Amino acid sequence: MKIPGRKYLLLNILVIFSLFLIGGCKPEHRFVKKTAFKDTNKIVIEFAGPVDEAWAKNRSSYTACEKPDPDIRLKIIDVSLSADKKKATLVFADDLNKNQPHVVTATQISSEGKSLGTAILNVKKFYLGYLFSILIGAMIINNFVFTKYLGLCVFFGVSQKKSTAVGMGITFTLVIVVSAMMSWFIYQFVLQPYRLDFLQIVVFIGLVSLSVQAVDTVLRKVNPLLFKAFGVYLVLVIANCIIIAVPLILADNAYNAWESLMLSLGAGLGFLIALFLMSSVRERLELANVPPTYRGLPIAFVLAGLFALSFLGFSGMSIF
Amino acid sequence: MALIGLAVLGCIGLFFGIGLALAAHKFAVEANPKVEEVLEVLAGAQ
């Protein structure tokens, strides 16, 4: 009887998730159906009905800017209208930075002689793609260990054996997701409304140790085998700097729940990848003839440097 | 202002403290008391 219940729960979560994602792409004006980026320097606005050509083709009907910089107007060089007069394409003088949401204002939309008011439209990349790019960004492109040099003490401590490295990585991912979501919630709904932002570090550290303690308590009872396998690493998670860096980044960037989830998941998986790569090489290194002065930690640092150098190859990449 | 901050943080702390205590109570694992006693008697240098 328990299993179908769980299935429905999963289904419900999926439905809510997809509803949210669809809701996330909705433009804000009733006469505008869709807005999207096109090519490198175009924005397409799709209207619900035909608009007047004289209005639509007039460049001064629109203003556009990046959301964080409302003072810097982007220069529109041309507007074209599709044959059914429902689709206007704005052409910009320069390439657009698609990583930033853009705000397009269409003043006094006129359709069949009637004015339909001014629309302020948010143009964003496909939301799922944006979430995915946060995940991959935190996991590989801006890997916390190899590009930000965070969490190094735990990284060098547990990367000697592959099995412990993977165990630590999985535990860490679990704890970072739980604690980052909790920190996000407390920051958004308690600290910010009461203007206690300056206490964020204290609160986040408390939440991290809380989630570690909670996972420890629950796991001890629910899955003793897994608990034994994690052993001392569960407590070691607290000593990792990534776990405190992620909530601070979330608070700085004002991410929403899904973006926070993706960033924390990416940070956790990125740490897992880093640990796995490092432990594989260090296991192999046991057989190598390393000069005595370099044996142990020094060669591990050299290795980490080489890894960081190769991860530099991912820098500046963007997906979607 | 400062008092509100104190009250809010105190509430958060109390809330999560009670939560953890309840969780610890619910997920309590009966440990063998003899293990502790034996450890007590041993030298414990390592």
Question: Does residue B25 sit within a domain?
Answer: yes
CA neighbours closer than 13 Å in the CB half-sphere of residue A317: 16
B1-16 residue pLDDT tens: 688 888 988 999 999 9
Q: Write out the two tokens for A101.
A: 């949401």
Alpha carbon distance, N-terminus to C-terminus of chain B: 51
Same-domain status, A267 and A139:
yes
Q: What is the pTM of this model?
A: 0.72
Q: Report the alpha-carbon distance of residue A103 to residue A61 in Å, rounded.
A: 14
Q: Count of domains in chain A?
A: 2
CATH of the domain at A103: 2.60.40.1220
Digit-by-digit pLDDT tens for chain A (320 residues) are: 444 556 676 666 666 666 555 544 445 677 888 888 888 888 888 888 888 888 888 888 888 888 878 888 888 888 888 888 888 888 988 888 877 778 888 888 888 878 888 888 888 777 788 888 889 999 999 899 999 889 888 898 888 889 888 888 888 998 999 999 999 999 999 898 888 888 899 999 999 999 888 888 888 888 888 788 777 778 888 888 899 999 999 998 888 899 999 999 999 999 999 999 999 999 999 899 999 999 888 999 999 999 999 999 988 777 66
**Minimal Cα–Cα distance from A41 to chain B, Å?**
48
Question: Does residue B37 sit within a domain?
Answer: yes
Same-domain status, A107 and A218:
no
Q: Chain B 12-41, CB below 8 Å of chain A: which residues?
A: 12-13, 16, 19-20, 23-24, 27-29
Q: Does B4 touch chain A (CB under 8 A)?
A: yes
Residues of B with CB below 8 A from A208's CB?
A: none
Contact A210 B27 (CB under 8 A): no
Question: Does residue A200 sit within a domain?
Answer: yes
DSSP E strand boundaries for A169-301: none
**Minimal Cα–Cα distance from A158 to chain B, Å?**
21
Q: Which of B5, B9, B27 sits opposite A218 (nearest CB)?
A: B27
Q: Is A128 exposed, middle or buried (0-12, 13-18, 19+ CB in 10 A)?
A: middle
Number of Cβ pairs < 8 A linking chain A and chain B:
37
Q: Count of domains in chain B?
A: 1
Same-domain status, A86 and A219:
no
| The predicted structure's pLDDT at residue A25 | 46
Residues of B with CB below 8 A from A213's CB?
A: 20
Q: Which of B4, B19, B29 sits opposite A194 (nearest CB)?
A: B4
Question: Does residue A14 sit within a domain?
Answer: no
